[in-house]
Structure 1
Amino acid sequence: MSVRVQTSIAANIVAEALSWLGTPYRHQGIRKGVGCDCIGLVLGVWQAVYGTAPEWPGAYAPDWAEAGGEERLLAATRRHCIEKQAGELSAGDLILFRWRPHLPAKHAAIMVGQDRFIHAYERNAVVVSALVPQWRNRIAGVFAFPERP
């Protein structure tokens, strides 16, 4: 599967996301260089590229493997982004993950290259990781950022 940047928005998303590398993990944080979690990373990138964040998610638990709950992250992403097939990954796409098939999606990342994504997770700074089978099998949705919010 090849991954490529398809639009100028996607190129801007990738460039901005990569500028967050090394930002420490902080639950519900949204500040580059200061602290963010995976959702804060996505919201911070969105705000830098579009000038404003799409919506604030409200309080959420730090445990993305928690049972129960609604598909709040998936629903919000569908309101603001363009849903794609999982096999259509492109650099600049937003990926949502779920820990297990019966759990809601609770982790977000942005594709930055072929089989590489950027994300924030507990006990780590913002990092680029390989989209290995352990991650690929947990994909709950793939989305393109809109040309305009």
Structure 2
Amino acid sequence: MTGVASAEINRTRIVATARGWLRTPYHHQAAVKGAGCDCLGLLRGVFAELYGAEPEVPPPYTPSWAEDRACEALRDAARRHLAEIPTGEADAGDVILFRWRDGLPAKHCAILTARNRMIHAYDGHAVAESWIPDAWARRAAYAFRFPGVDQ
């Protein structure tokens, strides 16, 4: 990994970095602050700002990629680069993956700014910080911590 030493990465810095992406327009597969991103692009961009580079560039994907492939590609990629934690332990600066229905793979991600708030991008909306509605909280499938961040 290049760039900033992991000892300098903390929850406050992660949240501040993610907030720097607020109002970035939605653009499928993009990861350019101020110009466009989707939920994965937001996570990729924040990671690159914090650590100096993206850990990997995903292959092209369609809006329905998770259902089409019926695999946990987002979870598997997160496991390669982030530390998995129980969803109930996730807090500010951690990443949450959501699945929309039982039996479907997780296909949406967000960065928490508090236990009940998140920053995320979704179709038709610019990157926003919002409360996590109960319906979304029930769909939290996985949680991850950025490398080098302590409890």
**Greater CA drift, 78-87 or 119-128:** 78-87
Aligned-residue offset at 1:87: 0.9
Q: State the alpha-carbon separation in 2 of the partners of residues 35 and 134 from structure 1.
A: 27
Cα RMSD for the two superposed structures: 1.7
- Aligned residue pairs total 142
Runs of 4+ deviating beyond 3 Å:
63-68
Structure 2 gap ranges (5+)? 1-7
Show CA shifts across 1:93-116 (max 9, x none).
Answer: 000001111111110100012410
Q: 1: distance between equivalents of 2:132 and 2:124? A: 19
- Equivalence for 1:89: 90
- Find the residue that maps to 1:127 and give its secondary structure: strand
Structure 1 vs Structure 2: percent identity of aligned residues?
49
Structure 1 distance, partners of 2:9, 2:133, is 27
Instruction: Give yes or no for contact 1:117–1:129 (8 Å, CA) kept in 2.
Output: yes
Moved more, 7-16 or 21-30: 7-16
The answer to whether the aligner puts 1:37 opposite 2:38 as a matched pair is yes
Structure 1 unaligned regions, length at least 5:
1-6
Q: CA offset at residue 66 of structure 1?
A: 3.4
* Corresponding residue for residue 49 of structure 1: 50
Would you say the 8 A contact 1:18–1:118 is kept in 2? yes
Say if 1:68 and 1:104, in contact at 8 Å, map to a contact too: no
Q: Secondary structure, in 3 states, of the residue corresponding to 1:83? A: strand
Q: Given the two structures, how large is their TM-score scaled by the length of structure 1?
A: 0.89
Correspondences of 1:104-123 after superposition (within 5 Å): 104-123=105-124
More off after superposition, 60-69 vs 72-81:
60-69
- Looking at structure 2, the residues matched to 93 and 31 of structure 1 have their Cα atoms a distance apart, in angstroms, of 21
After TM superposition, the score normalised by the length of structure 2 is 0.88
